[in-house]
Amino acid sequence: MIRRAVSPARVGDVFSQLAGGATARRRTRRQRWLFLSAAFAISIVLWLRVSGTFLADQQVPTRIEWSVSDTAWSLLEAPEQVVATFRGRRGQVFTSLFQQPYIRKLIEVVNDTVLRIPISPSEVIYSADLEVRPVALDVSQVEVRLEPRTRKRVPVSAETDATAAAGAVVVGLDFAPDSVWVYGPASRVEGIDVVSAGTMLVGEIGARVTRQLIIELPPGLTGVGVEPASVVGTVQVDTLGMRTFSRAVEVVLPSDLDDYGNVEFDPSEVSVLVSGPLRILAALRAVDFRALVMLEDPPRQGASYPVELEWPRDLAVTATSDPPRVTAQLNPTSGQR
């Protein structure tokens, strides 16, 4: 048996050929994968472009804006929307869902409290940029109810979060005008006694603040309106001040308690410390306040009793007694019966 020696160079050539073949196969597979991916992407794009030309129908909620030209009547009940069917290219029809189409209906002649109003697809108002058109509505007519129109003037109310800065006091919240006209169906207007202007948000303030406030009607009141639709709200602020009045202590006995003679209190007078807006303090008088000791049982010598202050509650002030309590001193000639 004859054996031939293989040179190292020959062995290297064989391995080089094998390695080169594997690299070529990998390159071929990669190119094939890229080609298939590109072909798939192109087919998707072509499918989308072709399918976008197909006609399709889409149902779109369509609101109705109502108005009544006869000022003697007001709308009581009416549908707020219908459903319109739009037809066009598939992509355009889908876009119409977000365009909020609407119909404007004017009721010119009212000869009854219940009317049936015809509507048609040609009345639908929508974006002209869309290559679609309304072809149908879910109804061909709608029923509306009307009622004689009335109006009345009602006051305005509102709240505020206003708090007074140091040295100031919030006096109140005023409106201009302080009342508005409410108009609409008589059955609904008659039940409205006041309208709200919401909440006036101002926070901490040291001077008066003014805001435009929108009148808010309760939801669901179809056909009801207000005039004017807004008012000017002003949070009134004044400087905080203090006045002091001296008042004699008075005794108040219950009706079933006998008079126990000349009971006196020490001290017989107290200082009434009143704080509030300066413009209110300036008009106060000592007689506006009373310092009272309320007795529920016969007085006891040396007993301590709280002093209760009384003043007109329409005065936006606070008052305290100094001292807050007094001591009973019984007249020796009175005794207890």
**Of 334 and 187, the one with more pLDDT:** 187
Q: Answer for the pair 212, 230: CB distance below 8 angstroms, yes or no.
A: yes
Bond preceding residue 155 cis, omega within 30 of 0:
no
The predicted model scores a pTM of: 0.56
pLDDT at 123 over 60: yes
Question: Which of 214-218, 255-259, 267-271 is predicted least confidently?
Answer: 255-259
Q: Answer for the pair 263, 314: CB distance below 8 angstroms, yes or no.
A: no
Task: Tell the burial category of 144 from Cβ atoms under 10 Å away from its Cβ (0-12, 13-18, 19+).
Answer: buried
Same domain, 253 and 219: no
pLDDT digits (tens, 9 = 90+) for 88-98: 887 666 666 67
- The CATH code of the domain that includes 161 is 2.170.120.40
- The CATH code of the domain that includes 291 is 2.170.120.30
Same domain, 232 and 304: no
Specify the number of domains making up the chain.
3
Domain contains 324 = yes
Residue indicated by tokens 């080169």: 20
Q: Is 203 left (phi over 0), alpha (psi -120 to 50) or beta?
A: left
pLDDT digits (tens, 9 = 90+) for 137-152: 999 999 999 999 999 9
pLDDT at 218: 84
Same domain, 276 and 246: yes
Choose one of 239, 267, 291: the last residue of a domain: 239
At residue 14 the predicted structure's pLDDT band, cuts being 50, 70 and 90, is very low
Say how many CA atoms lie within 13 Å of 122 toward its Cβ.
1
Same domain, 179 and 211: yes
pLDDT digits (tens, 9 = 90+) for 160-178: 999 999 999 998 999 999 9
Instruction: Map residue 279 onto helix, strand or coil.
Output: helix
pLDDT at 118 over 80: yes
Choose one of 117, 139, 161: the last residue of a domain: 139
Q: Answer for the pair 186, 244: CB distance below 8 angstroms, yes or no.
A: no
Residues of the domain holding 60: 55-139
pLDDT digits (tens, 9 = 90+) for 202-230: 999 999 999 999 999 988 787 899 999 99
Q: Other C-beta atoms within 10 Å of 11: how many?
A: 10
In order, the DSSP letters of 17-77 are HHHHHHHHHHHHHHHHHHHHHHHHHHHHHHHHHHHTTSEEEEEEEEEEEEEES-TTEEEEE
CA distance 251 to 294: 6
**Where would I find the beta strands (DSSP E) of 79-178?**
81-89, 102-107, 114-118, 132-137, 141-160, 163-164, 168-176
pLDDT at 53 over 80: no
Q: Answer for the pair 104, 134: CB distance below 8 angstroms, yes or no.
A: no
Same domain, 235 and 245: no
DSSP β-bridge partners for residue 214: 230
